[in-house]
């Protein structure tokens, strides 16, 4: 191992105006073509600084938060550097803390390396080892791995690192938090001393410096500086977020738009191809949506903007680059399809709603790993972003029925129904009038998408916010204020987990669980509404397959058991009693 000398330091502001683009970074034509195909419009600050340094073969110590584009910052130069290497053994190793991130990074590297025909293997715990053994034996260029499983393969002799040219430690602080320090040292000992090493971390405590001191040689050091966002600069709009995994992001966006029913909304995406995909998905669901991004001609942009301003289009799906300079005075909602990479970008986006004294709403779809970045944005803007529970299918159906009712009531107020009354009277000759009315309402409901097949979206845990009440008592947007389930801690299999019974709390057994569709929010809502108990005093909740357990203050337990036992949960009565171990 080589002791590092004094690093050269480059501190970059997170937003510096227009970028010179990926062409100026030294990337070759196949990678540039891939980025164009994927719809990437401009490099992020970490990409602008890291890519040339890594292409030059320098070791790198980078400090940047999740969501700032780190994956492309190291993946693109790695792929370019190893494109001509022998593929029998790995030429690059990327170590990440979790299997979720391993999958994400592995998929990204496969996308970026498609034109170069570079093979990538993703290895992590909790996955059958057979396919991993087969992939490593067949030969791969890049291995993306969690430390524990990488060390397991090294000890088996199935992961050989003597030909590795580049090593990346991604989210290094998180790997140390998870106790992987010794594993990292053991893995890096198996790699050549001549390798290039890049370390990325959201924070830079002494222990990260210690790893860099042992394993990096004269590194370029890059810090993406926090934006000087002043308190109170964020607009006064209702700010909410929903935690969901990547595969369910599109369904979540559709669900939130269906619930909110915005008349004029901006949906921000990261890339051109994402803009096109989201626009296609929304128009396929019957929304009047248009795309705007840097790949469009000026005449196309002008047409789209005129349609949005005149109300012909209700949803404008855009990249940040395309949205620069747009003057749109009447925007009811801003929706972030993903969390922006910085507080400055977030403030700039949501500043497009809530103007001229109007009420506005900002909605963000959040990856589970981005919750720390969200809290950082809250600290910068001095404004709370409430993390809410994703509306269920039942919530969506109720909202649609409510809209149908409102539309009918509005039409009744408007009058001028004579010709339709005659039609109803004619139909009533052969059908009961109530069935005629129900059929008409069903027709309206169907045409509004009410009978479209929808998927249920898994509820994920969220970290406790630093502003206001705990997230799992935040409720659902547009629904009642009863407690949601977003903040209830869960086990890896998705079950709600109790955090240890507190003194003075009784454990109440409820005879319904996951197989009945019970969620923590259902129990919190039932207890709060039926027993008139404040949701803030309800303790931890555990949802099992056929029953649930709720911690209640001992002084309230008898009342809760009595009243909850008489009420219905999810439409049926269930046994409620004190829990016996």
Contacts of 432 (CB under 8 A, 6+ apart): none
User: Of the ranges 95-99, 501-505, 528-532, 539-543, which one carries the lowest mean pLDDT score?
Assistant: 501-505
Burial of 339 (0-12, 13-18, 19+ CB in 10 A): buried
Short-list 290, 285, 279, CA closest to 326? 290
Decide if pLDDT at 334 tops 50: yes
Which three-class secondary structure state does DSSP give residue 511? coil
Tens of pLDDT, residue by residue over 127-142, are 788 888 998 988 899 9
Mean pLDDT, rounded, for 539-568: 83
**Phi–psi pair at 192, nearest 5 degrees:** -65, 145
Q: Residue 490: its pLDDT value, please?
A: 36
Q: Token pair of 260, please?
A: 């909110």
Decide if pLDDT at 1 tops 50: no
Decide if pLDDT at 278 tops 80: yes
- Is 0.75 topped by the overall pTM? no
- Helix runs in 216-315, H state only: 249-260, 272-284, 298-309
Tens of pLDDT, residue by residue over 45-79, are 889 999 999 999 999 999 876 667 888 999 999 99
HSE value, Cβ hemisphere, 13 Å, CA-based, for 485:
24
Q: Residue 363: its pLDDT value, please?
A: 93
Q: Residue 468: its pLDDT value, please?
A: 37
User: Which CATH architecture fits 8-225?
Assistant: 3-Layer(aba) Sandwich (3.40)
In 497-568, the DSSP E strands lie at: 505-510, 541-543, 548-553
Decide if pLDDT at 143 tops 90: yes
Mean pLDDT, rounded, for 333-353: 83
Mean pLDDT, rounded, for 318-338: 78
Q: Residue 164: its pLDDT value, please?
A: 94
Q: Token pair of 507, please?
A: 């454990």
User: Of the ranges 149-158, 203-212, 279-288, 531-540, which one carries the lowest mean pLDDT score?
Assistant: 531-540
Q: Residue 580: its pLDDT value, please?
A: 66
Mean pLDDT, rounded, for 403-422: 75
pLDDT band of 165, cuts 50, 70, 90? very high
**Phi–psi pair at 358, nearest 5 degrees:** -80, 160
Burial of 284 (0-12, 13-18, 19+ CB in 10 A): exposed
Which three-class secondary structure state does DSSP give residue 573? coil
Top-confidence range, 2-11, 73-82, 335-344, 459-468:
73-82
Mean pLDDT, rounded, for 528-534: 74
Q: Residue 518: its pLDDT value, please?
A: 82
Domain ranges in the chain are 8-225, 238-387, 393-447, 488-578
Decide if pLDDT at 282 tops 90: yes
Q: Residue 41: its pLDDT value, please?
A: 76
**Phi–psi pair at 11, nearest 5 degrees:** -100, 120
Top-confidence range, 26-35, 150-159, 448-457:
150-159
Q: Residue 234: its pLDDT value, please?
A: 47
- The matching CATH number, chosen from 3.40.50.20, 3.30.70.120, 3.40.50.300, 3.40.190.10, for 238-387 is 3.40.50.300
Decide if pLDDT at 503 tops 50: yes
**Identical fold between 8-225 and 238-387:** yes
Q: Residue 397: its pLDDT value, please?
A: 79
Residue 258: count of CB within 10 angstroms of its CB: 22
Q: How far apart are CA 270 and CA 39, in angstroms?
A: 9
Q: Residue 574: its pLDDT value, please?
A: 84
Decide if pLDDT at 373 tops 90: no
Q: Residue 471: its pLDDT value, please?
A: 36
Q: How far apart are CA 341 and CA 202, in angstroms?
A: 12
Burial of 515 (0-12, 13-18, 19+ CB in 10 A): exposed
Torsion angle in degrees (nearest 10) through CA of 507, 509, 512, 514: 40
Q: How far apart are CA 122 and CA 153, in angstroms?
A: 12
Contacts of 503 (CB under 8 A, 6+ apart): none
Consecutive H or E run containing 187: helix 181-189
Mean pLDDT, rounded, for 145-170: 93
pLDDT band of 357, cuts 50, 70, 90? low
Q: Token pair of 56, please?
A: 């030059």
Q: How far apart are CA 440 and CA 49, in angstroms?
A: 61
Contacts of 225 (CB under 8 A, 6+ apart): 11, 12, 13, 14
Query: Where does 488-578 sit in CATH, by number?
Result: 3.30.70.330
Q: Token pair of 176, please?
A: 């140390």
Decide if pLDDT at 195 tops 80: yes
User: Of the ranges 92-96, 179-183, 275-279, 569-573, which one carries the lowest mean pLDDT score?
Assistant: 569-573
Cα angle at 144 between 143 and 146, to 5 degrees? 125
């Amino acid at each position: 191992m080589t002791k590092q000398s004094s690093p050269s330091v480059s501190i970059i502001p997170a937003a510096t105006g227009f970028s010179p683009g990926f062409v100026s970074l030294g990337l070759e034509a196949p990678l540039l073509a891939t980025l164009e195909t994927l719809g990437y419009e401009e490099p992020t600050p970490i990409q602008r600084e890291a890519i040339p340094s890594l292409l030059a073969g320098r070791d790198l110590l980078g400090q940047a938060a999740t969501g700032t584009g780190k994956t492309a910052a190291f993946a693109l130069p790695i792929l370019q550097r190893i494109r001509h290497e022998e593929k029998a053994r790995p030429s690059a190793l990327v170590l990440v803390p979790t299997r979720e991130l391993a999958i994400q990074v592995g998929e990204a590297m496969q996308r970026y390396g498609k034109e170069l025909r570079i093979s990538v293997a993703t290895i992590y715990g909790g996955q059958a080892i057979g396919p991993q053994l087969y992939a490593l034996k067949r030969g791969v260029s890049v291995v993306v791995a969690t430390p524990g499983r990488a060390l397991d393969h090294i000890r088996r002799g199935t992961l050989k690192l003597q030909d590795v040219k580049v090593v990346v430690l991604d989210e290094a602080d998180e790997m140390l938090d998870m106790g992987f320090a010794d594993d990292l040292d053991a893995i890096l000992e198996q790699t050549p001393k001549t390798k290039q090493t890049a370390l990325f971390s959201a924070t830079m405590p002494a222990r990260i410096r210690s790893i860099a001191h042992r394993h990096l040689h004269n590194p370029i050091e890059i810090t993406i500086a926090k934006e000087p966002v002043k308190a109170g600069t964020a607009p006064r709009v209702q700010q909410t977020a929903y935690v969901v995994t990547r595969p369910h992001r599109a369904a979540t966006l559709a669900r939130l738009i269906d619930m909110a029913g915005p008349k004029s909304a901006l949906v921000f995406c990261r890339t051109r191809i994402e803009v096109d995909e989201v626009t296609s998905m929304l128009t396929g669901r019957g929304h009047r949506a248009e795309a705007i991004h840097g790949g469009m001609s000026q005449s196309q942009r002008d047409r789209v903007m005129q349609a949005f301003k005149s109300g012909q289009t209700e949803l404008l799906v855009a990249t940040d680059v395309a949205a620069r300079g747009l003057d749109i005075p009447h925007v009811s909602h801003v929706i972030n399809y993903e969390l922006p990479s910085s507080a400055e970008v977030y403030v700039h986006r949501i500043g497009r709603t809530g103007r001229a004294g109007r009420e506005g709403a900002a909605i963000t779809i959040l990856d589970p790993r981005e919750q720390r970045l969200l809290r950082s944005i809250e600290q910068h803007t001095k404004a709370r972003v409430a993390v809410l529970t994703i509306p269920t299918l039942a919530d969506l159906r109720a909202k649609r029925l409510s809209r149908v009712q409102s539309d009918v009531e509005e039409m009744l107020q408007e009058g001028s129904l004579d010709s339709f009354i005659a039609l109803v009277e004619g139909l009533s000759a052969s059908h009961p009038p109530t069935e005629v009315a129900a059929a008409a309402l069903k027709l309206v409901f169907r045409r509004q998408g009410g009978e479209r097949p929808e998927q249920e979206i898994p509820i994920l845990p969220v970290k406790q916010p630093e502003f206001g009440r705990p997230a799992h008592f935040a409720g659902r947007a547009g629904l009642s204020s009863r407690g949601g389930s977003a903040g209830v801690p869960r086990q890896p299999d998705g079950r709600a987990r109790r955090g240890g019974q507190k003194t003075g709390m009784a454990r109440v057994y409820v005879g319904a669980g996951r197989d009945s569709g019970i969620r923590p929010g259902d129990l919190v809502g039932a207890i709060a509404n039926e027993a008139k108990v404040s949701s803030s005093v309800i303790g931890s909740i555990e949802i099992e397959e056929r029953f649930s357990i709720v911690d209640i203050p001992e002084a309230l337990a008898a009342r809760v058991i009595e009243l909850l036992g008489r009420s219905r949960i999810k439409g049926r009565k269930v046994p409620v009693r004190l829990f016996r171990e």
